[in-house]
Amino acid sequence: MRILITGGYGFIGMYATAMLTERGHDVYIFDTLPAPPAGMEGYFAGTTAIRGDLLNPLFLIEAISKNRIERILHLAALRNNDSRRFPHAAFKLNCEGAVNCLEAARISGVERLCYASSVAVLGSFGFFESLGLGDKPLSEDAPCRPSNVYGVTKYFCETMGDNYSKLYGLSVIGVRLPIIFGAGKKGGSRSSHYNEMIEKAAAGEPVSARAVKAERFNIQYVKDSAKALVCGCLAAPGKTGVYNCGGTIVTMADYVRAIKNVFPGADISLIEDPAASILDNTCIDSGLAAKELGFEPSFTPEQGIRDHMDSLI
């Protein structure tokens, strides 16, 4: 199958690319970057690079037509912290870019568009506590009230994707991902400290984290994130909609324990701090994705931590 990946040189994109090429698919990387990140070239062996901008829809349509693209995996987006700092840029790339992908897929007769959504669409713990749901795992039917710019843009993608499915018959699948860790993730994001804790522990450096120790959240190893997106992209014809694709629901104390199981001598201080609440509810139920997409996580946090470190050796 001929698959175009927008933002393919990004964190999740490189793992999804490797999975798709290993399965024998022809992968086309559509990205503004001229080349993969240094040291990551091996993930892109056998792929075709197309340097392009999602905000130029005519170029996107031409790339799809010229390369006879059958399915699109849309990953290009401005990250959470950057969306908060640059809301207009977030609207342009995350919203307008998504519509350009949907429209290009519709015009070009693409079989399926699968895109990365986020638990950021859901909203705060307080909102769900007011509904009597607290931090219980939420299904796809849970109401969404995003509490940050990034979440708003991803909710836009979900609702616009739903409209393209209903109005034009386009097969659109949204994969709703939780907090993600793994090798290759850039620092400076809201969740980059999950990576930093692992890598400092591995280096024998002391590390401290402020958190509500008993607060539950959903965390996922990046290879499972890529697996979820590949399952969505390759799902049987006729499948459409948004699917929760989570990892493991843990507390910060659980996560620290997993790190110490891998690095028994790790010096990790966990400081109870109510001000360090995760704020957004990330606890999702992935049962529907298991049933309809065949997605189930392959890595526990401890297994992900071990694989993370193996990939850096």
Give 231-246 pLDDT, tens digit per residue: 999 999 889 999 999 9
Q: Are 205 and 266 in contact (CB under 8 A)?
A: no
Phi, psi of 262 (to 5 degrees): -85, -40
User: Whole-model pTM?
Assistant: 0.96
274 pLDDT band (50/70/90 cuts)?
Answer: confident
What would the mean pLDDT of 1-5 be, rounded to a whole number?
Answer: 98
Supply the pLDDT for residue 313.
Answer: 56
Give the chain's mean pLDDT.
94
User: What are 130-141's pLDDT values in tens digits?
Assistant: 888 876 899 999
**pLDDT band at residue 278 under the 50/70/90 scheme:** confident
Read off the amino acid at residue 90.
A
**Spatial distance between the Cα atoms of 91 and 213, rounded to a whole number of angstroms:** 34
Q: Looking at the DSSP assignment, which residues form a beta bridge with residue 117? A: 176
Q: Across residues 179-183, what is the average pLDDT? A: 94
CA distance 92 to 78: 9
Are 172 and 240 a contacting pair, CB within 8 Å?
A: yes
SS3 category, 71: strand
Q: Are 125 and 281 in contact (CB under 8 A)?
A: yes
Burial 266-301 (b: 16+ CB within 10 A, else e): bebebeeeeeeebebbbbbbbebbbebbebebebeb
Share of the chain above pLDDT 90, in %: 80
pLDDT at 76 over 80: yes
pLDDT tens track for 285-302: 999 999 999 999 999 999
